[in-house]
C-alpha cells in the first residue's frame, strides 16, 4: 500500500450533536488510514452544565475504555500531539448543538442579493427571523424596532455588486447600525457582510464596536448574474463558532484542541461532499443527507460545486413540533404501514419535542419515527433541490438529478433495526433516478472526514474505501411513463464466478438480486418502452455496468418516479409492508 503518502498520524474527531457527543479515532494500520473505534456520551451544552466540553471528555473517556489507549491527561485535557505514547497527533471537532441561530437577512433585491443571502443563511443552523431589503415597506424605525425586539444572534448582509452603487446598501447598514447601537452590549448580534467590497472599510469602522463579532467576506453576488457563496460560507462557519462561544461553555477549549478549526457539523459534511465530488470527478452529483435531532442537512455537489441546505425546522429533536408548519399530518401518515390515528402521530411529535433524546420503543412508535424521517428528508431535499445548478442532468423535470453515490447519516436511518428499513426511508424520501450506490455512515464519520479533509486529503479517501462506511445497495431506479405492469427492463446480472441472474422488471416492481459484500459482477440492462436508466430513453451500455457487492445487493426500484402510494389506507399499508418484506424486513 502507498505508505509513502500516509503520514503516520492518528486523528481523534469529536462531533457534538444536540443529543449525543461522539468521539471517533482514526489511525494508520498497515500503511492506510482506518477507522478504529468510537465512543459516545450525552451532550452537555445545555443546563445544568452548559458546557459542551464535559460531554466531549466523557465521549473521549468512553473511547479510551474501548481502545485501551489514553487521550486525556490527568487534568482531563486532551494530549495533542502525542507525548510519551499518550494522546493523539491531530484533533478535529464539529458541532451542531444548541438552538438554531436567530438570523436577520439584509440585502437589496428579493430575487438577487436577498435570495443569495438567504441561501447563505441556510448553510448553518440558523432560523431567519426577519428579512430587510429595498422592497420592505416598513419605515427604518420599524425595521430598527423589529431587530431590537427579535434580538437576533446574527445579521447577514449581502447586496450591491462589486464596484457598483453603494448608497442603498449604506442606507440599510445605517438602520442595522442604529439597531445594534440600541441593543444592550451583551445582546448585540454578530454580523457578516458579503456585499459590495467597496464598503468593507466603511463597515469595519462603523460597525466593529456595535457587534458581537464582525466578519467581512468577499461579495456573494459580485455581479448581477454571478453568485459565489463559498467564501462567505467559510466566513459564516467561523462566525457561527464565535456566536456559540457567547452562548455555551467549552467552545473555546474544543476550538483550541482543534487548532482553531472547530466548525459546524453541516459545514464539515458539505466540505467532504464537495471534496468527494472533486476527487471522484463523476458526471453525476454526490449527495449527502443527514437526518439528526438538530436539523435535516442536505449536501449535494456537482462537479465540485456544493449546494448545502441546513434545516433546523426539520430536525427530529426539540424543534420537531415546528414540522407541522412545513407539512401536514396526512403527508406523514401516508408513510406509516400501520393503522395509527392522526392524533397519535400528532401526540408523538409533541412528546418527542419534549424528550428529543428519546427512542421509539414499540413497533408503532418506530413506524411513526421512520415516517417522520421520510417526510423531513423529503421536504428538505425538495426545498434544496430548487437551488441545484440548472444545467445538471435529470431524466425529466421535477425528478431528482442523477447521483453517485448517496451517503446517508443520522441515527434514524443509519441505525434502523434493519437495513431494508434504512434503504426504504432513503428511496421513498429522495426518490433517486438512474443507477446509484447508497452508502450508510453507521459510525457518523462524515463530519469528521470533512473536518479532517483540509489538513489531510488522504484520510477521507482511504477511510471511505476502508469499509468504515457500509455499502447498503446498488440501486437502479428507472424512469418511465408507461402503465404499471408493463415490462420496462430486461437483462442479467453476471456474477464473478460466471453465474447469471435473469432480470425482467415490470413498472411498479421493487426487486432485489443478492450480490454480497466482497463480490462483484456486471449488470447488463436493456430498457424497454423508452425507459430511462440514467442514460436517456432506451439507452444502455452494451458492455454492461460494473457492480460491486453491498449489504442488500442490487435493488431495482421500478415503483415509479414520482412515487405514488395507493390512496386506500389498507392497500397502502399492504404495499409498504410488501416493499419492506422485499428488502428483507
Cα–Cα distance, 530 to 510 (Å, whole number) = 19
**543 near another protein, judged by CB under 8 A:** no
Q: Which residue stretch of 297-305, 352-360, 466-474, 497-505 sits at the interface with another protein (rule: CB under 8 A)? A: 352-360
**49 near another protein, judged by CB under 8 A:** yes
**570 near another protein, judged by CB under 8 A:** no
Binding mask 394-433 for another protein (x = CB under 8 A): ---------------------x-xx---------------
**Taking CA 221 as the corner, what is the angle to CA 215 and CA 222, rounded to the nearest 5 degrees?**
95
Q: How far is the CB of 463 from another protein (least distance, A)?
A: 24
Q: How far is the CB of 151 from another protein (least distance, A)?
A: 9
**318 near another protein, judged by CB under 8 A:** yes
Q: Which residue stretch of 9-17, 123-131, 145-153, 553-561 sits at the interface with another protein (rule: CB under 8 A)? A: 145-153
Cell numbers found for residue 404? 453517485
Cα–Cα distance, 522 to 504 (Å, whole number) = 16
Binding another protein by CB under 8 A: which of 6, 72, 134, 321? Answer: 321
Cell numbers found for residue 252? 473555546
Q: Where are the alpha helices (DSSP H) in 358-474?
A: 363-385, 411-414, 419-430, 446-453, 458-464
Residue 514: which residues within 8 A CB-CB, separation 6 or more? 553, 554
**148 near another protein, judged by CB under 8 A:** yes
Q: How far is the CB of 347 from another protein (least distance, A)?
A: 3
**342 near another protein, judged by CB under 8 A:** no
Q: Provide the 3-class DSSP secondary structure of residue 225.
A: coil
Binding another protein by CB under 8 A: which of 165, 357, 517, 563? Answer: 357
Phi, psi of 470 (to 5 degrees): -95, 120
Q: How far is the CB of 293 from another protein (least distance, A)?
A: 11
Cα–Cα distance, 354 to 320 (Å, whole number) = 9
**1 near another protein, judged by CB under 8 A:** no
Q: What is the DSSP letter of 86?
A: B
Q: Which residue stretch of 138-146, 229-237, 329-337, 554-562 sits at the interface with another protein (rule: CB under 8 A)? A: 138-146
Q: How far is the CB of 107 from another protein (least distance, A)?
A: 21
**338 near another protein, judged by CB under 8 A:** no
Q: Provide the 3-class DSSP secondary structure of residue 236.
A: helix
**346 near another protein, judged by CB under 8 A:** yes
Cβ 176 vs Cβ 211: under 8 Å: no
Cβ 472 vs Cβ 550: under 8 Å: yes
Q: Which is nearer to another protein, 342 or 396 (CB)?
A: 342
Looking up cell 462506511, which residue turns up?
Answer: 469
Binding another protein by CB under 8 A: which of 29, 223, 224, 354? Answer: 354
Going edge to edge, which strands form the sheet with 11-16?
32-42, 20-29, 11-16, 90-95, 263-264
Cβ 32 vs Cβ 1: under 8 Å: yes
**What are the beta bridge partners of residue 300?**
287, 307
Binding mask 97-116 for another protein (x = CB under 8 A): -xx-----------------
Q: Which is nearer to another protein, 152 or 432 (CB)?
A: 152
Q: Which is nearer to another protein, 211 or 480 (CB)?
A: 211
Q: How far is the CB of 478 from another protein (least distance, A)?
A: 31
**212 near another protein, judged by CB under 8 A:** no
Q: Which residue stretch of 75-83, 136-144, 231-239, 431-439 sits at the interface with another protein (rule: CB under 8 A)? A: 136-144
**247 near another protein, judged by CB under 8 A:** yes
Q: Which is nearer to another protein, 149 or 455 (CB)?
A: 149
**42 near another protein, judged by CB under 8 A:** yes
**206 near another protein, judged by CB under 8 A:** no
**What are the beta bridge partners of residue 288?**
299, 407
**358 near another protein, judged by CB under 8 A:** yes
Give the binding-site size for another protein (rule: CB under 8 A): 52
Q: How far is the CB of 140 from another protein (least distance, A)?
A: 5
Cα–Cα distance, 585 to 577 (Å, whole number) = 8
Q: How far is the CB of 142 from another protein (least distance, A)?
A: 8
Selection from 406, 471, 409 nearest residue 445 by Cα? 409
**366 near another protein, judged by CB under 8 A:** yes
Q: How far is the CB of 1 from another protein (least distance, A)?
A: 33
**343 near another protein, judged by CB under 8 A:** yes
Burial of 51 (0-12, 13-18, 19+ CB in 10 A): middle
Residue 35: which residues within 8 A CB-CB, separation 6 or more? 24, 25, 26, 443, 445, 463, 466, 468
Cα–Cα distance, 25 to 39 (Å, whole number) = 9
**360 near another protein, judged by CB under 8 A:** yes
Binding another protein by CB under 8 A: which of 202, 365, 387, 511? Answer: 365
Cβ 104 vs Cβ 127: under 8 Å: no
Binding another protein by CB under 8 A: which of 181, 223, 259, 484? Answer: 181
**Taking CA 301 as the corner, what is the angle to CA 295 and CA 307, rounded to the nearest 5 degrees?**
50
Q: Which residue stretch of 227-235, 256-264, 341-349, 425-433 sits at the interface with another protein (rule: CB under 8 A)? A: 341-349
C-alpha distance from residue 499 to each of 253, 474, 495, 523 (Å): 58, 19, 5, 12
Cell numbers found for residue 428? 421513498
Cβ 490 vs Cβ 503: under 8 Å: yes
Q: Which is nearer to another protein, 366 or 565 (CB)?
A: 366
Q: How far is the CB of 358 from another protein (least distance, A)?
A: 5
Selection from 462, 453, 534, 479 nearest residue 283 by Cα? 534
**139 near another protein, judged by CB under 8 A:** yes
Cα–Cα distance, 3 to 17 (Å, whole number) = 34
Site residues, another protein (CB under 8 A): 41-42, 44-50, 55, 58, 98-99, 139-141, 144-145, 148-149, 174, 178, 181-182, 184, 187, 247-248, 318, 321, 343-344, 346-347, 349-351, 354-355, 357-366, 415, 417-418
Amino acid at each position: 500500500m502507498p505508505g509513502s503518502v500516509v503520514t503516520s498520524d492518528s486523528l481523534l474527531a469529536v462531533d457534538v450533536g444536540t443529543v449525543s457527543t461522539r468521539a471517533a479515532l482514526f489511525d494508520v494500520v498497515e500503511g492506510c488510514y482506518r477507522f478504529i473505534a468510537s465512543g459516545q456520551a450525552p451532550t452537555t451544552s445545555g443546563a445544568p452544565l452548559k458546557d459542551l466540553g464535559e460531554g466531549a471528555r466523557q465521549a473521549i473517556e468512553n473511547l479510551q475504555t474501548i481502545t485501551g489507549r489514553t487521550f486525556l491527561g490527568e487534568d482531563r485535557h486532551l494530549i495533542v500531539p502525542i507525548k510519551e505514547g499518550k494522546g493523539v497527533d491531530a484533533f478535529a471537532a464539529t458541532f451542531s448543538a444548541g438552538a438554531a441561530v436567530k438570523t436577520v437577512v439584509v440585502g437589496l433585491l428579493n430575487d438577487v442579493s436577498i435570495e443569495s443571502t438567504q441561501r447563505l443563511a441556510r448553510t448553518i443552523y440558523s432560523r431567519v427571523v426577519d428579512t430587510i431589503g429595498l422592497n420592505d415597506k416598513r419605515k427604518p424605525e420599524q425595521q430598527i424596532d423589529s431587530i431590537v425586539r427579535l434580538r437576533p444572534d446574527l445579521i447577514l448582509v449581502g447586496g450591491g455588486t462589486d464596484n457598483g452603487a453603494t448608497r442603498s446598501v449604506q442606507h440599510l447598514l445605517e438602520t442595522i447600525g442604529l439597531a445594534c447601537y440600541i441593543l444592550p452590549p451583551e445582546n448585540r448580534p454578530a454580523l457578516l457582510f458579503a456585499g459590495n467590497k467597496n464598503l468593507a472599510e466603511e463597515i469595519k469602522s462603523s460597525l466593529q464596536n456595535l457587534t458581537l463579532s464582525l466578519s467581512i467576506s468577499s461579495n456573494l453576488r459580485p455581479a448581477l448574474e454571478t453568485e459565489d457563496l463559498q467564501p462567505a460560507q467559510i466566513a459564516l462557519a467561523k462566525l457561527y463558532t464565535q456566536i456559540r462561544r457567547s452562548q455555551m461553555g467549552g467552545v473555546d477549549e474544543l476550538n483550541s484542541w482543534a487548532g482553531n478549526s472547530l466548525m459546524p457539523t453541516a459545514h464539515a459534511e458539505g466540505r467532504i461532499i464537495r471534496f468527494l465530488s472533486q476527487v471522484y470527478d463523476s458526471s453525476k452529483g454526490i449527495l449527502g443527507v443527514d437526518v439528526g435531532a438538530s436539523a435535516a442537512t442536505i449536501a449535494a455537489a456537482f462537479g465540485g460545486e456544493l449546494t448545502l441546505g441546513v434545516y433546523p425546522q426539520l430536525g427530529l429533536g426539540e424543534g420537531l413540533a415546528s414540522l407541522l408548519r412545513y407539512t401536514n399530518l396526512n403527508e406523514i401518515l401516508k408513510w406509516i404501514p400501520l393503522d395509527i390515528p392522526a392524533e397519535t402521530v400528532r401526540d408523538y411529535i409533541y412528546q418527542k419535542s419534549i424528550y428529543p433524546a428519546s427512542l421509539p420503543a414499540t413497533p408503532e412508535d418506530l413506524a411513526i419515527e421512520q415516517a417522520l424521517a421520510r417526510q423531513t428528508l423529503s421536504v428538505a431535499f425538495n426545498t434544496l433541490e430548487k437551488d441545484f445548478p440548472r444545467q445538471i442532468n435529470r431524466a425529466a423535470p421535477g425528478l431528482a438529478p442523477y447521483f453517485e453515490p448517496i451517503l446517508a447519516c443520522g441515527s434514524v436511518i443509519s441505525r434502523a433495526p434493519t437495513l431494508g428499513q434504512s434503504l426504504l426511508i432513503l428511496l421513498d424520501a429522495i426518490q433517486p433516478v438512474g443507477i446509484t450506490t447508497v452508502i450508510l455512515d453507521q459510525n457518523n464519520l462524515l463530519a469528521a472526514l470533512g473536518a479532517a479533509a483540509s489538513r489531510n486529503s488522504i484520510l477521507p479517501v482511504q477511510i471511505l474505501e476502508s469499509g468504515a462506511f457500509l455499502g447498503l445497495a446498488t440501486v437502479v431506479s428507472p424512469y418511465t411513463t408507461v402503465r404499471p405492469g408493463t415490462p420496462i427492463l430486461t437483462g442479467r446480472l453476471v456474477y464473478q464466478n460466471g453465474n447469471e441472474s435473469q432480470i425482467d422488471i415490470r413498472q411498479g416492481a421493487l426487486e432485489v438480486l443478492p450480490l454480497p459484500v466482497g463480490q462483484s459482477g456486471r449488470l447488463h440492462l436493456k430498457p424497454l418502452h423508452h425507459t430511462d436508466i440514467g442514460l436517456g430513453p432506451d439507452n444502455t451500455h452494451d458492455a454492461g455496468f460494473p457492480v460491486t457487492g453491498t449489504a442488500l445487493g442490487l435493488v431495482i426500484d421500478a415503483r415509479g418516479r414520482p412515487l405514488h402510494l395507493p390512496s386506500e389506507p389498507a392497500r397502502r399499508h399492504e404495499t409498504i409492508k410488501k416493499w419492506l418484506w422485499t428488502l428483507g424486513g
